[in-house]
Amino acid sequence: MKQETSSSAVSASLNGVRNSPRKMRLIANLIRNKEIQNAIDLLTYSQKRKVSFIFKKLLLSLLSNWKKKNDQSENEKFLYIKEIRVNQGKTLKRLRPVPQGRGHRIRKRSSNIIVVLGQK
C-alpha cells in the first residue's frame, strides 16, 4: 500500500500505548473526520478517561506540529482529523498460575496510533 504524502500534511504518532487496540478504536472512531477543536472537546468530556487523555495529548501535539510547520496567521478553524489509525503494537505474554500446576497465558496488548491533520 503506497502512502501519499503532501507538503501540507502534518502527522503525529504514538507507539507502545499500554491499552488494547480494540479499546483505543472506540475513541478513534468517535473523533474521526471531526474538526480538531470539536475532537478535543469530545475527548475532554468522554467517559473513557484513560484513553481519551492519551488521544487528547496526541491531538495537542499534532496541533503544535502544525503550528511549527505553518505560519500562525493561517486559521486553525478549518483543521480536521483527516486520518486516524490504531494498529496493534507489541504484545507482552505472561503466565497466570491455575490449579493442578498449569499456567494460562495472559496477553497484555499495546497500540500504535497515527493521526494525520488536514485542512478544509
Report pLDDT digits (tens) over 35-57.
Answer: 999 999 999 999 999 999 999 99
Residue with the three cell numbers 473513557: 48
Nearest to 108 by CA among 95, 94, 97: 94
What is residue 72's predicted lDDT score, i.e. its pLDDT?
A: 67
CA distance 42 to 102: 45
pLDDT tens digits for the chain (120 residues)?
344 455 568 999 999 999 999 999 999 999 999 999 999 999 999 999 999 999 999 999 999 999 888 876 567 778 999 999 999 999 999 999 999 999 999 999 999 999 999 988
Q: Are 40 and 59 in contact (CB under 8 A)?
A: yes
DSSP 8-state secondary structure symbol assigned to residue 2:
P
CA distance 94 to 113: 24
Q: Are 53 and 42 in contact (CB under 8 A)?
A: no
What is residue 74's predicted lDDT score, i.e. its pLDDT?
A: 67
Helix H segments across the chain?
A: 21-31, 36-44, 49-69
Domain 18-119 class in CATH: alpha beta
What is residue 77's predicted lDDT score, i.e. its pLDDT?
A: 79
Q: Are 55 and 29 in contact (CB under 8 A)?
A: no
